[in-house]
Amino acid sequence: MIAAARYVSLNPVRARLAPAACDWPWSSARAHVAGENDALVAVGPLLDRIGDFAAFLAEAEEPETAQRLRAAETTGRLLGGEDFIQDLERSLGRRLTPGRPGPAPKAPTIAVEQDLWG
């Protein structure tokens, strides 16, 4: 979650939409850097884990982590450990991991002999 917070906060900067994360009007970064809740953001849950949000944003992203987050964002797939994903699948009662590519297998057919002529 911590790496995802940095990744999302820095998306407007990477896309050259804003010079700094705090400058993007739709970002929670401004509230997190100020350390104050606003109408949409409760800063405590994240700041309790990382402390200084400005210093956190200034830290270098790990390339492998950023690549995994980007891939999950692009494909819409979950990003997490196997146990985490399996727990979610059990809780939701549905499969969340990708299946095998290609068309769904056809139901097996059972040959039935018929005497068409009587």
In this prediction the pTM is 0.69
**φ/ψ (deg, to 5) at 85:** -65, -40
- Rounded to whole angstroms, what are the CA distances from 8 to 41, 69, 92? 14, 9, 26
Dig out the tokens for 22 from the structure.
């705090």
Query: What confidence tens digit (pLDDT) does each residue in 9-28 have?
Result: 999 999 999 999 999 999 99
By mean pLDDT, which of 14-28, 46-60, 73-87 is the weakest?
73-87
Decide which of 107 and 76 is more confident: 76
CB 41 within 8 A of CB 28: yes
Neighbours of 87 (CB within 10 A): 12
Task: Select the more confidently predicted residue: 37 or 61.
Answer: 37
Q: In whole angstroms, give the CA distance from residue 109 to residue 64.
A: 47
Break the chain into its structural domains and give their ranges.
Answer: 2-92
> What is the overall mean pLDDT for the chain?
88
